[in-house]
Amino acid sequence: MRSRNGDHYFSRRLCSIILFYSLTLSASEYLISYRYVVKDAILYNESLIVSHAMKKCNGIAYEPLKLENNGSKNLSQIISANHDIFIGYIHKLGLDVQHNEETINAQNKSTTVLTLRTKCFKVDFNDNFAKIAPLK
């Protein structure tokens, strides 16, 4: 629509609003869980599960992490390429720790399990990086 002086303010405003909301809605949501098991001071099992969220997650994104990306849209590949950085980031978010120790016939056995319960993350992909932020 034109204003009285002939400019297309309404059209520009409408296009900018549509563009802005399409960019903010393009972020994908993923469910990520992590489990790390140590038995007798030896790594027994480590599992990282990444899956696309089937329904919209509610919450506010906080503490984003930027991981280098080579143009891929596959979050599992991006995380595996930056494994150490991502695992350090998950440890800062907070993990549940379960420790069990027993001594039988002077032999000590211990098991420690670190778990990040399934948490929803908002992920924005770019050509050079992927921005990952957990939802609170």
Q: What is the pLDDT of residues 107-123, one digit of tens each?
A: 899 999 999 999 999 99
The pLDDT of residue 28: 87
More confident residue, 73 or 121: 121
Tell me the per-residue pLDDT of 3-23, one tens digit each, with 9 for 90 and over: 555 555 555 565 545 544 444
Q: Is 18 domain-assigned?
A: no
Q: What are phi and psi of 50, to 5 degrees?
A: -125, 125
Question: In whole angstroms, what is the distance from residue 56 CA to residue 51 CA?
Answer: 13
Q: Which domain holds residue 52?
A: 27-134
User: How many independent structural domains does the chain possess?
Assistant: 1
* pTM score of the predicted model: 0.70
| Alpha carbon distance, N-terminus to C-terminus of the chain | 41
Q: Is 82 domain-assigned?
A: yes
Q: Of the candidates 30, 1, 26, which has an alpha carbon nearest to the alpha carbon of residue 125?
A: 26
Q: Is 129 domain-assigned?
A: yes
Residues sharing a CB contact under 8 Å with residue 135, sequence separation 6 or more, in sequence order: 29, 57, 58, 59, 60, 61, 62, 119, 120, 121, 122
Q: Is 121 domain-assigned?
A: yes
Q: Is 7 domain-assigned?
A: no
The pLDDT of residue 126: 84
Q: Is 94 domain-assigned?
A: yes
Beta bridge partners of 45: 37
Q: Is 60 domain-assigned?
A: yes
Q: Is 14 domain-assigned?
A: no
